[in-house]
Amino acid sequence: MFDYLIVGAGFAGSVLAERLATQSHKKVLIIDKRNHIGGNTYDYYDEHGILVHKYGPHIFHTNSFEVFSYLSKFTQWRQYEHCVLASVDGQLVPIPINQNTINCLYGLNLNSEEVAEFYNNRAEKRTIIKTSEDVVINAVGKELYEKFFKGYSKKQWGIDPSELDASVTARVPTRTNKDNRYFTDTYQSMPLHGYTKLFESMLSHPGIKIMLNTDYKDVIDIIPHKKLIYTGPVDDYFNNCYGKLPYRSIDFKFETFDTECFQPTGTVNYPNNHAYTRITEFKYLTGQTHHKTSIVYEYPTAEGDPYYPIPCPENNNMYRKYKLLADTLPNVYFTGRLGTYKYYNMDQVVAQSLALFKKLSTGETKEVNGHKGELIKIENKISDDRNRIYKS
C-alpha cells in the first residue's frame, strides 16, 4: 500500500514526493504519462550534443529564499540573467521596454526622468485596470502597446489582450532605467547540469517509486494507496464535467546550425511578424560551449499538450466550479500549474507544493463541505469518489 500516489513528475509532484518520502517517511508512487521525469522543464542532449529544453526555454528566477535554498539541495547553479530583445520596426531592441529601448527605437538620448515624461505624455490613464490591454496602455500608451504587446499577445493567447486578465502583461514591466534584464529577481540561476539532473537527484530515494509511460487512469484502481496528489489538468480529472478548460499549447520547432552563435541574446521576441512568438538559443541559458548551436521557435496553438492556462474571467469562473468540486474530495489534493489552473512560474509551483506539504505534514486536512476531511465518512478509495461525482 502506498501512502501517496502522485500524478505528474513535474515540479509540483516531485517536490511533494521528495518531501513526503524524506521528511515524513511516506511510501510514494509518482506516475507520469510521459517517458521522462521533470514535467515541462525536462531537458536533454540533442543529437548534436547540445543541451535543449524539450518544452521550451525554462529560466529559473525567484525572490524566495526558501524556494532557492530548497532546490539548492539537489543542484549546483550557474548564475544567469536572461536578456530578451524584441524585433520592432526593423531593429532589435530590449524588452521590457526601458530607457535603452526608447532611445534606440526613436533615435533619442533621453535620461531616466525624460523617459518617464515620454511615457506619461503617451500613457492613457485608466481608472480601473482589468485587462492586459489596460496595463500597457495605462503605462505607455497605444503606440508602444501596438509595437510590443498587441501582436505578440494575440499570437500567444489566440485572443485580444483586452480579453485577458491584467496579470498576463503585468508580468513584463515598463522601466525608466537602463536595466535590460528580463527578470529582476534576487535569485537568477540555471541548474548547473540541467533540470533533468536536478529531478533525478530530487527523486532518488528508496521511499519513492517512479512509473513512467502511464496514464494514472489506467492504473489507479489497481494500485492501493491512501491519498492522491494530482498535478495534471483539473478538468481532465473530473472528465470535463463542467466543460473543457481552455489551455494554450505550443509547437516547438528545433533547429541546429553549424555555427557557434545564431542570435545576439538568449531570446528574441517577434511581436509583429512571423507565426512564432520567439526564438531561443539554448547555449546562452546553459552556458555550454559547442561549435554548433541549437535554437527553438515557439508557435502557439489551441491544440496539443496543455501548457498555459488562459487567465480571463470566463475561464476563471469555470475553474472555480472545478475547485469547489475538488474541495469535496477529502483525500485528493490538487496542486501545480494545471492542477490549480494558474499561470505559475516554476518557483511559484515549488512554493505551492512546499506549502501543501506543510499542511499534509501537520495533519491539517481539507475542509470538506464545511467539515474537516477526517470527520466525514466518505470512502477512502479515490476512484469511488470520482465515480460518484461523474454519476451524480
170 by DSSP, 3-state: which? Answer: coil
Q: Does 329 bind ligand UDP (CB under 6 A)?
A: no
Q: C-alpha cell of 265?
A: 541574446
Q: Does 152 bind ligand UDP (CB under 6 A)?
A: yes
Which residue stretches of the chain are H helix?
Answer: 11-24, 65-71, 99-106, 112-122, 132-140, 142-144, 151-157, 166-169, 195-203, 216-219, 234-237, 282-286, 313-326, 336-339, 346-361, 382-391
Q: Count of CB atoms within 10 A of residue 368's CB? A: 17
Q: Which of the residues 280 through 299 are near ligand FAD (CB under 6 A)?
A: none
Binder among 40, 169, 188, 315 for ligand UDP (CB under 6 A): 169
Q: Does 168 bind ligand UDP (CB under 6 A)?
A: yes
Q: What is the CA radius of gyration of the chain?
A: 22
Q: Which backbone phi and psi does 255 adopt, to 5 degrees? A: -145, 150
Binder among 141, 151, 232, 246 for ligand FAD (CB under 6 A): 232
Angle between helices 112-122 and 132-140 (to 10 degrees): 120
From residue 47 to residue 86, what is the string marking binding to ligand FAD with x (rule CB under 6 A)?
Answer: --------xxxxx---------------------------
Select from ligand UDP, ligand FAD, none the partner in contact with residue 319, using the beta carbon and a kind-dependent cut-off of 5 to 8 Å: none
Q: Does 255 bind ligand FAD (CB under 6 A)?
A: no
87 or 231, CB closer to ligand FAD? 231
**Binding segment toward ligand UDP, per CB under 6 A, in 41-49, 121-129, 164-172, 191-199:** 164-172
Which residue type sits at 90? G
Rounded distance between C-alpha atoms, residue 351 and residue 341, angstroms: 15
Say if residue 309 is preceded by a cis peptide, omega within 30 of 0.
Answer: no
**Binding segment toward ligand FAD, per CB under 6 A, in 63-71, 322-330, 340-348, 373-381:** 340-348
Select from ligand FAD, ligand UDP, none the partner in contact with residue 321, using the beta carbon and a kind-dependent cut-off of 5 to 8 Å: none
Q: Does 34 bind ligand FAD (CB under 6 A)?
A: yes
Q: Does 250 bind ligand FAD (CB under 6 A)?
A: yes
Binder among 20, 30, 39, 138 for ligand FAD (CB under 6 A): 39
Q: C-alpha cell of 169?
A: 502583461
242 by DSSP, 3-state: which? Answer: coil
User: Would the CA dihedral through 96, 100, 105, 110 be positive or negative?
Assistant: positive
Q: Does 172 bind ligand UDP (CB under 6 A)?
A: yes
115 or 203, CB closer to ligand FAD? 203
Question: Interface residues with ligand UDP (CB under 6 A)?
Answer: 86, 95, 148-149, 152-153, 156, 168-169, 171-172, 269, 271
Question: Interface residues with ligand FAD (CB under 6 A)?
Answer: 7-13, 31-34, 39-41, 55-59, 215-217, 231-232, 250, 307, 336-338, 344-347, 349
